[in-house]
A and B are shown apart, each in its own frame.
Chain A
Amino acid sequence: MKKELTTVNRQNNAAKNVKGILGGVLLFGIIFLSLIGPLVYQVDPRSTNLLQRLQPPALFSKASEHFLGTDQLGRDILSRLIYGARISLFVSLCSILIAIFLGVTLGMLAGYYGGWFDNLLMRIGDVQLSIPFLVLAISVIAVLGSGLVNVVLILGVTGWIQFGRVVRAETMHIKEREFVSSAIALGASDIRILFVHILPNIIPTTIVLTTFQFALLIIVESSLSFLGLGVQPPAASWGSMINDGKTYIQTAWWLSTIPGCMITLLVLGANLFGDWLRDRLDPHLQQQA
């Protein structure tokens, strides 16, 4: 069923893929830069230089030696941005892995077995969702203390429900399909059915959800750091950089604005990429259904 490459089709294909290319470039570009950045741009993000404080970005002032300027302690913004990216991305990645692990496992079990377990899980999820996230986060941090590990744990444990609900619904749909009944009739164990038949079929949906949740977690982590609940100084995440710069926003606007722009670009990239991925995977799924 090969599609002829008419002009219209070519244009459609290109248009469809622009989202994916743009999103991919933004998302993976930022990730890539955060990884190789320190090797290429070897400026210590922590070295302070009070003579150089509050320098504007090089684009806006011929005198400045720093590409993106300096903050109130003279630390180079670009360097802090790169190291901050690592922290923001690391936190989001770790928490999303926790959320995926919990969400997929519990969601599959709830969807497959149903009954009281399903009810219990969904009610716990409802309770979690009914509490505003920041309120929940502040309460937990008040008890456990702030810091990298705790932030990762909170984001992971509260994020599971997003995956759990979707995976549960997918599982309930898939287990009614005849290839699962055939496997049962052949004598397959429940574990085999969950891992060999159900799990591979929920992966596409999970991947798409991951990209969107990833974007969300970046924002959430930034919010926590902005409030001073996330990573502590001198470590910088983008959120805490925005926080540090908020008192200078009238004068040294680049302190808050630049990290803010980076967050926007990363989230935009993740969402565009997720959109494209979902569009690509959906028709396939419908073909196979």
Chain B
Amino acid sequence: MNDGQNIVEIRNLKKYFPVKHKLFAKQNCLVRAVDDISFTIKKGETLGLVGESGCGKSTTGRTIVRLYKPTAGSVLYDGIDLAKLSKKEMRIMRRNMQIIFQDPFSSLNPRMTVGNIISEPFVIHNMGTKKTCKEHVEALINKVGLKGDTYYRYPHEFSGGQCQRLVIARALALNPEFIVCDEPISALDVSIQAQIVNLLEGLQEELKLTYLFIAHDLSMVRYISNRVAVMYLGKIFELGESEEIYTHPLHPYTKGLLSSIPYPNPKVERTRTRHFPSGEIPSPTDPPSGCRYHPRCPIADKKCKSDQPELKSVGKQHWVACHLI
């Protein structure tokens, strides 16, 4: 049960997408984007979720904030099962959890002024008068570091980094406790990435926020996260404290991922032992039997082909899903 410490709890979450085949195909394919994952997110922490493109990280994020309905399993927010809420209750619950996306330009309606965009949460939930709304919006815009008269401008008048700040401002409008950040910096210039990440960190401290930080930039995730989960083809392979995972990765896939990060120091680069995952990532419609990683794993054996490994604890706050650890 909820001990007050966990703000979000995922239990055996599955999300499958049916792929419509040709008209007379016997069977529809299922894209198993998220295939039975469980984890918790503690209040005030940043949980990083990493993995290759197509592993199901974004789907997980969107399913948590109920943009998708889970195929199976449950999402608990503050101990409350979101599936059991009525439409009205869900609407109120949405105030607590928000999501920010990768493309800042696509996240803002090009036909609305910035003021209207950021005051939309207030309008949807019937909060405040026109005047108080405007004041709140101006305060939010200042909080994310934008100055000047932005209220009556349109999104196309701003740069990517500024747009992403506006997206963050909108996400903060209803004072959420939990924000899913779905690759919020991938589309930005490197220098701007640092600014936005620092902004997110500052806001987390000030407003006591909890983040699920989804990304494929491993270095950035290490910088911002307290704990990290590594996903592959809809499964979680490793979960643990951020530094622990980066310094002592246990799962072969995690080792492979971290090997791929180039070191700026040529001496170290030359002397490193690196294990690259071999082959191509399989299709999520037809995942390998047993452990999903066995076709590419350097140490796979017979058991890995037949049995799926469960996440098991291997130390303080460190879980791995592998038969051979």
Binding site for B on A (CB under 8 A): 177-179, 181-189, 192, 196-197, 200-201, 287-289
Closest CB in chain B relative to A191 CB, distance in Å: 11
Closest CB in chain B relative to A251 CB, distance in Å: 57
Instruction: For the A-B complex with A185-B98, A187-B92 known, give 11 more contacts whose Cβ atoms are closer than 8 Å.
Output: A182-B101, A182-B167, A183-B120, A185-B67, A186-B174, A187-B91, A187-B124, A189-B124, A197-B109, A200-B112, A201-B110
Query: A189–B125 Cα gap in the complex (Å)?
Result: 10
CB-contacts of B108-138 with A (<8 A): 108-112, 120-121, 124-125
Q: Which of A179, A184, A189: most chain B CB closer than 10 A?
A: A179
- With A187-B95, A200-B111 given, is the CB distance from A178 to B124 under 8 Å? no
- With A181-B67, A200-B111 given, is the CB distance from A187 to B105 under 8 Å? no
Please report whether the interface of chain A is mostly helix, strand, loop or mixed according to DSSP: helix
Closest CB in chain B relative to A76 CB, distance in Å: 49
Q: Are A178 and B98 in contact (CB under 8 A)?
A: no
Please report whether the interface of chain B is mostly helix, strand, loop or mixed according to DSSP: loop
User: In which size bucket is the chain B interface?
Assistant: 20 to 34
Residue of A nearest to B122 (CB): A186
CB-contacts of B42-83 with A (<8 A): 62, 65-67
Query: A184–B155 Cα gap in the complex (Å)?
Result: 19
Q: Are A181 and B101 in contact (CB under 8 A)?
A: yes
Instruction: Pick the contact of A186: B62, B98, B109, B155 (CB < 8 A).
Output: B98
Query: A186–B96 Cα gap in the complex (Å)?
Result: 10
Q: Are A178 and B107 in contact (CB under 8 A)?
A: yes
- With A187-B125, A188-B120 given, is the CB distance from A179 to B107 under 8 Å? yes
Residue of B nearest to A179 (CB): B109
Asked if B310 is at the interface (CB within 8 A of a chain A CB), the reply is no
Asked if B94 is at the interface (CB within 8 A of a chain A CB), the reply is yes
Residue of A nearest to B99 (CB): A185
Binding site for A on B (CB under 8 A): 62, 65-67, 90-92, 94-95, 97-99, 101-103, 105-112, 120-121, 124-125, 155-156, 167, 170, 174
Q: What are the nearest 8 A-B pairs in CB distance? A: A288-B110, A200-B111, A187-B94, A178-B101, A178-B107, A187-B91, A178-B106, A179-B109
Q: Are B98 and A179 in contact (CB under 8 A)?
A: no
Query: A184–B170 Cα gap in the complex (Å)?
Result: 13
Q: Which of A183, A185, A197: most chain B CB closer than 10 A?
A: A185
Closest CB in chain A relative to B173 CB, distance in Å: 8
Contact residues in B for A183 (Cβ distance below 8 Å) = 120, 124
Q: Are B156 and A179 in contact (CB under 8 A)?
A: no
Contact residues in A for B112 (Cβ distance below 8 Å) = 196, 200
Q: Are B124 and A192 in contact (CB under 8 A)?
A: yes
Contact residues in A for B120 (Cβ distance below 8 Å) = 183, 186, 188, 196
Query: A137–B18 Cα gap in the complex (Å)?
Result: 42
Residue of B nearest to A197 (CB): B109
* Complex A-B: 13 CB contacts under 8 Å: A179-B107, A179-B108, A181-B101, A184-B67, A186-B94, A187-B94, A187-B125, A196-B112, A201-B111, A287-B156, A288-B110, A288-B155, A289-B106
